[in-house]
Structures are given as structure tokens and as C-alpha cells.
Amino acid sequence: MSLAQVLFLIVAAVGLLSGLMVVTVRNLLHAALWLIVALFSVAVLFAMLNAGFLAVVQVVVYIGAIAILIIFAIMLTRREALRAGAQENRLWPVAGVLCALVFLGLAWSASRLPGAQSGPAQLPGSDALVALGTALVSPDQYVVPFEVASVLLLAALIGSVVIAGDRLRSR
């Protein structure tokens, strides 16, 4: 096995393990921290696939903004809810079997995709970035989704004000 494969296995194992810990650990804040580990391992996978832009975007947006948002949301909850008791999900063996079946199905269909056996695409870095940028703003490519994305973000801003508005106004 080449070094790249060993590294991939390690990072993937860390990602899976942290994902498991997110849903099983009892302290809610620890769950958030395991989530950060999982997100970081995804970023490392992106970097290993030569997708540098996606790796840094993953860290900047997911870990830098969304994980902090989640931690703030956890801290907004009442203190009693932080120290959760044991997991109360009795059907977890069934869920486990279903997950395993879904995973096997996905793995089988993914292995039949063209190029599934090859290594990461050797994209020269800056060319890929230029291509991405051009694709985002060219009128015959993705400029409309680009502008619509800004409208979507505007909607998110307005939504956040509306949601927080009640709490703020009741002060």
C-alpha cells in the first residue's frame, strides 16, 4: 500500500470515529468538539485530493463559522440540558444495520463509477482556481446561481433578524 493510501485510511478512520463520537458522547459540548474533528478530517481529505480551495473553505466556513455557531447554540440552552443522561434511543441496533446496508449500497455503486480506481486528479493548482472563478461568473456558466446565492444569503440575514427579533424586542 502506498503512503497516500495509508494516510487516507488514517484520516478516514479519524473522520468516522469522530462522527460516531458526535452522536454517542454524553456531554453536548464534547459532541460539538468531536464535530470539529470530523469537519477537519474532511478538510484534510480535500487537501489530499489536491482540492486546496475546498479544504480551506471547509475550515473557514464550517469550522470557523458554523461550528462556533453550533457551540453558541449549545451554550444558549439551559444548563440542565448540557449534562445529558444516557442515550435513550432503543432502536440503535436496527439503525446500525440500516446504516451498514446503506453504506454497502453506496460503496458498491460508487465503485462502478468511471475513474473510481484512480488516484486524485492532478490539477495544477492555480489553473483549477482560475477555472472555478471563471465558471462562477461567466454568463454561460454559473453566474445566475452566483447572484441567486447572494439573494439566498440576504434571505438568511433577514430570517435571522426575524427569528431573533422576538427575543430582542422582548427585552
Partner 1 sequence: MIQPGDLIASLGSWLRGFLLSLGLAPGLVSVGLGLLPAILLPLIGLMMAIPLIWLERKWVARLQDRIGPNRVGPFGIFQVFADMVKIFTKEDLIPQGADKIIFSLAPVLAIAGVVGIWAVLPFAADVYGVNLDVGVLYVIAVGTFGTLAILLAGWSSNNKYALLGAYRAVAQLITYEVPMVLTLLVPVLLAGSMGLNDIVRAQDSGWFVLLAPLAAIIFMIAAQAEVGRAPFDLLEAESELVAGFNIEYSGMKFGFFYVAEFLHSFTFGALGAAFFLGGWLGPGSERFPILGVLYFLIKSLAVYFVFVWTRGTFPRVRIDQMINLSWKLLTPTALGLVALMAVAERATQGTPPLVHALVLLAANLFVLFFALLVMRSMSRAARERLASRQAGSGSGMVAVGGSRAPAGAASALRD
Partner 2 sequence: MNPWIFVGVFLLVASAVPGFALLFAKYLGPRKPTPIKSETYECGVETHGPTWVQFKAQYYVYALVFVVFDVELVFLFPWAIVYRRLPFFVALEGALFLLILAGGLAYVWSKGALEWA
- CA–CA distance from 158 to each of 71, 100, 124, 162, 171 (Å)? 22, 40, 40, 6, 20
Q: Looking at 30, 64, 95, 97, which residue binds partner 2 (CB under 8 A)?
A: 64
Q: Which residue has the cell 468538539?
A: 33
- CA count, 13 A, side-chain hemisphere, 23: 10
The answer to whether 120 and 52 have CB atoms below 8 angstroms apart is no
Q: Give the one residue of 122, 126, 150, 170 binding partner 1; rule: CB under 8 A.
A: 126
Q: How far apart, in whole angstroms, are the C-alpha atoms of residue 145 and residue 161? A: 24
Among 68, 99, 100, 104, binds partner 2 (CB under 8 A): 68
Residues contributing to the site for partner 1 (CB under 8 A): 29, 33, 36, 52-53, 56-57, 59-60, 63-65, 67-68, 71, 75, 125-126, 129
Residues contributing to the site for partner 2 (CB under 8 A): 44, 47-48, 50, 52-53, 55, 57, 60-61, 64-66, 68-69, 72-73, 75-76, 79, 125, 129-130, 132-134, 136-138, 143, 146-147, 149-151, 153-154, 156-158, 160-161, 164-165, 167-168, 171
